[in-house]
Amino acid sequence: MRRTVWLIALVLVMSVVPVVGVAAGSGFTDTDGSVFEADIDWLAAEGITKGCNPPNNDKFCPDGQVTRGQMAAFLVRALELSAASKDHFDDDTASIFEDDINRLAEAGITKGCNPPDNDMYCPNGQVTRGQMAAFLGRAYHLPSTTNHQFKDIATSIFEVDIDRLAAAGITKGCNPPANDMYCPNGVVTRGQMAAFLHRAASPVVVPPPGGDTTKPVIVLLGADVVLVLVGTPYVDRGAIATDNVDGDISGKIKTVSNVSTAAVGTYTVTYDVTDAAGNPANRVTRTVNVTDVPLPPDTTNPVISVIGGTRKTVAIGSTYTDRGATATDNVDGNISDLVVTVGLPISTATAGKFTVTYDVMDAAGNPADQQTRTVYVVPLEMAMQSDHFPTGYAGLGSLVNQLTVPSVDPAGIAYHGPSGHLFIVDSEINEPNLDEVWTDVGEKNVFEVSPDGSTLYGTYLLPGVTREQQEPTGIAYDAGDDVFYVTNDVTKKLYRYLFNGTGFTLDDSVSTSAAGFPNVEGVTVDASGNIYVMAEGKKTILVYTYDGGFTLDGTLDLAALNPSAPPPRTPEGIAFDAASGHLFVVSQFDVPNAIFEYTTAGVFVGMISIKGFSPKPAFGTPQHDLTAPEAPQGIAFGPGSSPAFYLADGGVDNGTGAVDTPTDERDGVIYEGQLP
């Protein structure tokens, strides 16, 4: 082994900070003046990189983004991994990194990118900073830590790996001078990769600039002012102390007390501590008042606060470290040390959903309201398939039944309370290349079916548009006004229809294109009658009200409202769930395809991966497996909890003239699904 793996305490400024003056020139023509030049020189000198433009290899491309294939090559050379005994993946045969990828898999550093099969590696996928932490954590066996430095990773699947990277001194943050963020979704460049590997493999230990000059911090357990009845025992709750370098130094606290409950008076308890570098903490003092006046009864419950959010996602095979909870009481003060936690440890051997509970009781016997944290264990490679895997992963849903309906391309779906039926709109049955199908269904594009799909109650044609314009993309029923709302992607309008049991009558319409949003897809209505329209291209929800006419009350830009959460790539259907009061958006092209949950104000809540989903194929590609949705387009909630929702799957696109078989023409289905 020509290199010994060491960890160095070097800081990350912006993305990363280079190690300087350690290697001769690399010979690359494009690294002069790069902030990472010294790191790249070291990488070349160690034989870890050959360049980026074979066969010449006179360039390194420091600003180029790192792919998973390149990542494999870097790590294999840095760690000198042995040759693999078999071919692990099916999609890397044509990759120049195939041997490196197999070695990485053999070493257990990667499993693949398409769980549960994991027969693919996705060598051309980009590596994010969160994924980088995971790769390095597993490659260098970084130890776990209880320190949590960054405020933007609490809901990241890579939180544990990022904390390990920071504790090892390999990164310090991405927003100097505060450096309280890591930017887990940022894409890693080749120059940054060089700096990461240089620090992880260098035998040089670099102390913090100027040494450790940060004071430790003392936190009281219990109240800072305590009232005690004369003649009764006083038991001090103590304190805890933490240091930025030494960690928990509570055992070094020096406590001085002059408390005597034999006489009425005011007494003090002081707490002092000094870290290994000689930095003294600010002294903390507790005041103890001894009184002969009977104490009033304490009937107020303490309050528990969960640290780090009530939803967490961790990877299969990783170590889950719970952040715990704090508790405060009006009389006893800080009683966090008395919190009772149930549900730990959590096994991450297999995927699952786990609950951690927190309880506490104050000295008077008042219990706090129990708090919980839900922990989802999911495949790590599920996140690595996409650089925008959700920061708030909500779990795995499931599709429990498939309903075959006469709709060729079911785009929208609505539950109609008065009849107890489903209404499905078809956005492609009018296509010129589907004349036979159009005739078979009586030239209709709305289908009324039973909730289990077994009975067709009626077929209807939406009035007010020609056949060429018959492309309804969403439908919703407003129980308050007893009307249907329908969106149309051709006319760029939102329509209001009356339904009399035998057909539809056009009541009103409004142009969404006039408001600057031409690509409208799904529509839904909440309990107050607010109408939400999903504008696909701009990833924006339009909010309308109706009172004798349409009024656009506002827009919810999902990307702008949620800068730290990923927007859906191609938002299609939208549904309001009365139980949670939230909006659920189904999206195509996300990997894995998923449902995004938002508040009615557009604030991201979480993302639900639906078991069985696969990405929508390219236009014109036949759908050969009808057991898994390929084009999720519409979503609606039923009247109860079983099923939780209905999903409209359009299957193969029929509007391209590339329909291969009659089976592909009629591949639209409706799924029943359950939320996690």
Q: Do domains 217-291 and 394-674 have the same CATH topology?
A: no
Residue 66 has pLDDT above 90, yes or no: no
Among 33-37, 545-549, 668-672, name the most confident range. Answer: 545-549
Q: Following CA atoms 676, 128, 56, 43 in sequence, which dihedral angle do they give, to the nearest 10 degrees? A: -130
Burial 467-478 (b: 16+ CB within 10 A, else e): eeebbbbbbbbb
Q: Which residues pair with 329 in a beta bridge?
A: 333
Parallel, antiparallel or unpaired: strands 645-649 and 371-378 = unpaired
Rounded-to-integer distance, Cα 450 and Cα 204, Å: 71
- 147 or 545: whose pLDDT is higher? 545
Kindly state the tokens that stand for 181.
């963020």
User: Within 115-257, where are the H helices?
Assistant: 129-139, 159-167, 190-201
Q: Taking the alpha carbons of 19, 20, 26, 31 in that order, is the dihedral positive or negative?
A: positive
Q: What is the DSSP string of 437-463?
A: HHHHTTS--EEEE-TTS--EEEEE--T
d(C-alpha 290, C-alpha 292), whole Å: 7
pLDDT digits (tens, 9 = 90+) for 203-214: 333 344 456 788
For residues 397 and 537, give the distance between their C-alpha atoms in angstroms, rounded to a whole number.
26
Question: Which residue did the predictor score with more confidence, 228 or 453?
Answer: 228
> What pLDDT is attached to residue 370?
94
Q: What pLDDT shows up at residue 310?
A: 76
The answer to which of 17-26, 172-181, 667-676 has the lowest mean pLDDT is 17-26
pLDDT value, residue 202: 60
Q: What three-state secondary structure class fits 639?
A: coil
Percentage above 70 pLDDT, the chain: 77
Q: Which of 299-313, 358-372, 419-433 is predicted most confidently?
A: 358-372
β pairing state of 393-404 and 604-611: parallel
Residue 440 is predicted with a pLDDT of 60
Regarding predicted confidence, which is higher, 106 or 211? 106
Instruction: Give the pLDDT confidence score for residue 291 in this predicted structure.
Output: 95
pLDDT above 70: residue 250 = yes
DSSP 457-483: EEEE--TTS-GGG--EEEEEEETTTTE
pLDDT class for 378, splitting at 50, 70, 90? low
| The two structure tokens encoding residue 220 | 């009281």
Residues 6 or more apart in contact with residue 141 via CB below 8 angstroms: none
What is the predicted pLDDT for the residue at 399? 52
Q: What is the pLDDT of residues 266-293, one digit of tens each?
A: 999 999 999 988 899 999 999 999 999 9
pLDDT tens-digit profile of 641-653?
Answer: 545 788 887 665 4
Q: What is the pLDDT of residues 482-502, one digit of tens each?
A: 999 999 988 899 999 999 999
- The model's confidence at residue 429, banded by pLDDT at 50, 70 and 90, is low
CATH number, domain 217-291: 2.60.40.10
Q: What's the pLDDT band for 593 if we cut at 50, 70, 90?
A: low
Kindly tell me the burial class for residue 614, based on how many C-beta atoms sit within 10 Å of its own C-beta (0-12, 13-18, 19 or more): middle
The pLDDT score that the predictor gives to residue 562 is 82
303-383 domain in CATH 2.40.37.10?
no
**Cα 103 to Cα 110: distance, rounded to the nearest angstrom:** 10
Comparing 449 with 400, which gets the higher pLDDT?
449
The pLDDT value given to residue 496: 97
pTM score over 0.85: no
Confidence of residue 398 (pLDDT cuts 50, 70, 90): very low
Q: What is the mean pLDDT of the chain?
A: 78
End-to-end Cα spacing for the chain: 47
- 121-146 tens-digit pLDDT: 888 888 888 888 888 888 877 777 77
Residue 546's pLDDT is what?
96
Length of the chain measured in residues: 676
- The CATH superfamily holding the domain 394-674 is TolB, C-terminal domain (2.120.10.30)
How does residue 525 score in pLDDT terms, banded at 50, 70 and 90? Answer: very high
- For residues 577 and 555, give the distance between their C-alpha atoms in angstroms, rounded to a whole number: 19
- The whole-number average pLDDT for the span 510-535 is 91
**Selected residue with higher pLDDT from 428 and 605:** 605
The residue ranges of every structural domain in the chain are 37-201, 217-291, 303-383, 394-674
Mean per-residue pLDDT, 335-344: 92
Tell me the three state secondary structure of residue 196. helix
- Best-predicted range by mean pLDDT (136-140, 339-343, 465-469, 517-521): 339-343
Q: Where are the alpha helices (DSSP H) in 213-331?
A: none
Measured CA to CA, the distance from residue 477 to residue 486 in angstroms comes to 9
